[in-house]
Structure 1
Amino acid sequence: MAEFIRIYEENPNPREIDKVIKILKRGGLIIYPTDTVYGLGCDITNIKALERIARIKGVKLEKSNFSFICHDLSNLSDYVKQIETSTFKILKRALPGPYTFVLPGAKTLPNPFKQKKTVGIRVPNNNIAREIVKQLGNPIVSTSIHDEDEIIEYTTDPELILEKWDDLVDLVIDGGYGGNEPSTIIDLSEEQPLIIREGKGSLEIF
């Protein structure tokens, strides 16, 4: 049975955030709100938790395309190779926001991701998500629970999400109704930006 807690985005309660951190640190999986759809996440440093998410999604961990949810761009060099100034300017302009940026992976990536040439970086414009990763002290690895085959409410109503995921995760955060449009994915790993998926994030800023 998953725990179900309400956290308000305008002013996330530190005690509730602390509960989330404890669950993540002991290898728990959480479902949490972002500025797009609800996400399924775990601590990037916890191998057992990463393996659990990979099993749920039916993928091999080494080949997974999970996003790294960061609080800001300050620790980017831990996960991403040195990037051009022009690329950094794009990130600064777009984040926090509903974008996933594919960037060249650093040699310092956590073990399961060592072979990955690229990683997806997200800094959602959502106080709950960002406060969680800030207090945790490192990113969470995340995947959208948006499922094309499911009734659309599953991605927006936290209580329906709880019903569906109760036996699979340790905690569902009710951060209010979510969106049903995923992030815009932009590949910045090559010389020219490449749009992989057009989602909530406007392309006009590019």
Structure 2
Amino acid sequence: MAKYFDVHPENPQPRSIGQIADAVRSEALIAYPTDSCYALGCRLGSRDGMDRIRSIRHLDDRHHFTLMCRDFAQLGQFVRVDNDVFRAVKASTPGSYTFILPATREVPRKLLHPKKKTVGVRIPDHVVTQALLAELGEPLLSSTLLLPDEEEPLTQGWEIKDRLDHVVDAVVDSGDCGTEPTTVVDFSGGEAEIVRRGAGDTSRFE
């Protein structure tokens, strides 16, 4: 049965954030809110967590997982960003964008796209997520909480607890999230390629 954390969306309780971070460090798989929609997350190096996310979402090995980063300094530890791309990404963060970029050696091999050696990264504009990332001191391995054969992500914490109670370890409920995933932009080839149109405005990349 999943632990349930009711966290204030604007003033997250430090005790709850600390407990959630401890759970993640102990290999827990969590469902948590972001600035686009709810997501599944686990510790960066957790093979079990990654496998469980793949199982819940029916993902193949070509799926780009996302590293949910606290800030640009942390993001820069895990991906290579040249000057032109730097400016475009910097202008769009924090926000509802996921950027696909060449990975550095800091990224575990099992997280890389098998052919491109890339990974997705993003910096969320969400108080609770930022508080959790600050407490953790490292990125969360993350994926949109979009279940197989469903058109929209789950958006209510209580519904997530009800439906995923036996497949996740904790649910972080900060109220209603949106139903639109992030906009995904692939910069791995040097130019912006819009892979998915979502919550983030795409006009700056067109």
Q: Same fold (TM over 0.5)?
A: yes
Q: What is aligned with 2:158?
A: 159
Structure 1 residue runs of 5 or longer lacking an equivalent are: none
Q: Kindly state the Cα deviation for residue 151 of structure 1 after the two structures are TM-superposed.
A: 7.6
Q: What is aligned with 2:174?
A: 175
Question: Partner amino acid for 1:64?
Answer: H
Structure 2 residue runs of 5 or longer lacking an equivalent are: none
SS in 1 for 2:141: strand
Q: What is aligned with 1:128?
A: 128
Q: Kindly state the Cα deviation for residue 112 of structure 1 after the two structures are TM-superposed.
A: 1.8
After superposition, the C-alpha distances for 1:147-183 in whole angstroms (9 at most, x for unaligned) are: 473485x622211111111000011111110101111
Q: What is aligned with 2:20?
A: 20
Q: What is aligned with 2:105?
A: 107
Tell which deviates more after alignment, 51-60 or 6-15: 51-60
SS in 2 for 1:101: strand
Q: How many residues align?
A: 203
8 Å Cα contact 1:34-1:129 kept in structure 2: yes
Tell which deviates more after alignment, 119-128 or 40-49: 40-49
8 Å Cα contact 1:37-1:146 kept in structure 2: no
8 Å Cα contact 1:146-1:180 kept in structure 2: no
8 Å Cα contact 1:33-1:175 kept in structure 2: yes
8 Å Cα contact 1:37-1:156 kept in structure 2: yes
Q: What is aligned with 1:42?
A: 42
Question: Partner amino acid for 1:144?
Answer: T
Q: Kindly state the Cα deviation for residue 77 of structure 1 after the two structures are TM-superposed.
A: 3.5
Q: Kindly state the Cα deviation for residue 146 of structure 1 after the two structures are TM-superposed.
A: 2.3
1:86 correspondence with 2:84: yes
Instruction: Give RMSD over aligned pairs.
Output: 1.9
After superposition, the C-alpha distances for 1:41-89 in whole angstroms (9 at most, x for unaligned) are: 10102222222222323345x54321110001112333112x2111111
Q: Describe the shift of the 1:50–1:146 C-alpha distance in structure 2 as closer, same or farther (beyond 3 A).
A: closer
Aligned-residue sequence identity (percent) comes to 33
Q: What is aligned with 1:202?
A: 201
Question: Partner amino acid for 1:175?
Answer: S
Question: Partner amino acid for 1:66?
Answer: F
Question: Partner amino acid for 2:78?
Answer: Y
8 Å Cα contact 2:180-2:198 kept in structure 1: yes
Question: Partner amino acid for 1:29?
Answer: L
Q: What is aligned with 2:72?
A: 73
Question: Partner amino acid for 2:58?
Answer: G
1:57 correspondence with 2:83: no
Alpha-carbon distance between aligned partners in 1 of 2:148 and 2:170, rounded to the nearest angstrom: 23
Question: Partner amino acid for 2:154?
Answer: T
